Chains A and B, each alone.
Chain A
């Protein structure tokens, strides 16, 4: 599928180590800025569609405000509770849907079409 890069905001809109939601068409995207790097995910938490754009960063992970699941920023994989779930239940915890993101000349660009889970 072809990449469709869309600009979503000025990068100055996102504070250092900040979390912010943006609407792109009918999509809600959460963008995280952490230690100078940007990450973009679907804002609906894969658990029960909680608002990840109202989440916080906890030890370098994105925390959902509803049931406090923690997601790894690099991989989008669930960290908690997967790290303590018994082996037969680990597969029940889904990862975030991650989008490529880049900063160019003060603007944030997200590639929507080649979204990877």
Chain B
């Protein structure tokens, strides 16, 4: 834990215990989403399914990156991950992204994805609002993650025909253009 790192956030008027709970829940959502997206990607088959496989893979890897990027901040602030992974998953900030009843229904699959991304955007909008002007490190991290969640939503929205997103493919799968600077693991493709 960073003693002064925590103190400055407290002095700025943030309830650090509450903030840490939000960060742990957010990390839980990234972790569980990574898991569920693995199942969704495996089921993205056929003429329609293959078309969305690439964005699911980008979203899947980037959600894992979000988990990796959040964890150091949790510990810096004196927090910790749940001892039991079952508690960690149960407390995830967003619901489980289950495979639809009909796994070949690509539209239903996209609906699962887009709701998960919309939930994630709301999670980070909340953390950004809480930390803006008070905790620059958590704010920048959350804003970087939110940037990627917003792109994820836009890709799904585009596939669902809701409107163009201006999306162009990542240079490498799960490139994390915004979050990679926070990663403690090697950047993808490096």
Contacts and interface: CB of A to CB of B under 8 A. Distances in A.
Please classify how large the interface on chain A is, using the bins under 10, 10 to 19, 20 to 34, 35 or more.
10 to 19
B93 A86 contact: no
Contact of B93 (A58, A68, A88, A89): A68
Contacts, number: 45
Contacts of A83: 111, 115
Interface in B119-157: 119, 122-123, 126
A65 interface: yes
B90 A84 contact: no
A81 B113 CA distance: 11
A63 interface: yes
A80 to B, nearest CB: 6
Contact of B25 (A66, A81, A85): A66
A48 B95 contact: no
A2 interface: no
Interface residues of B, number: 21
Contact of B126 (A48, A65, A69): A65
Given A68-B119, A68-B122, A68-B123, A84 B92 contact: no
Interface centre among A48, A65, A83 (most CB of B within 10 A): A65
B101 A81 contact: no
Contacts of A87: 101
A18 to B, nearest CB: 17
Contact of B101 (A65, A66, A80, A88): A88
A67 interface: yes
A89 B122 contact: no
Contacts of A66: 25, 91, 93
Given A80-B115, A84-B100, A48 B90 contact: yes
A81 B95 contact: yes
Given A48-B90, A81-B96, A58 B122 contact: yes
Contacts of A48: 90-91
Interface of B: 25, 90-101, 108, 111-112, 115, 119, 122-123, 126
27 contacts: A48-B91, A58-B122, A63-B122, A65-B126, A66-B25, A66-B91, A67-B93, A67-B95, A68-B95, A68-B119, A68-B123, A69-B95, A80-B95, A80-B115, A80-B119, A81-B95, A81-B115, A83-B115, A84-B108, A84-B111, A84-B112, A84-B115, A85-B95, A86-B99, A86-B100, A88-B101, A89-B98
Given A68-B119, A84-B98, 20 more contacts: A48-B90, A48-B91, A58-B122, A66-B25, A67-B25, A67-B93, A68-B122, A68-B123, A69-B95, A80-B95, A81-B95, A81-B96, A83-B111, A83-B115, A84-B108, A84-B112, A86-B98, A86-B99, A88-B101, A89-B98
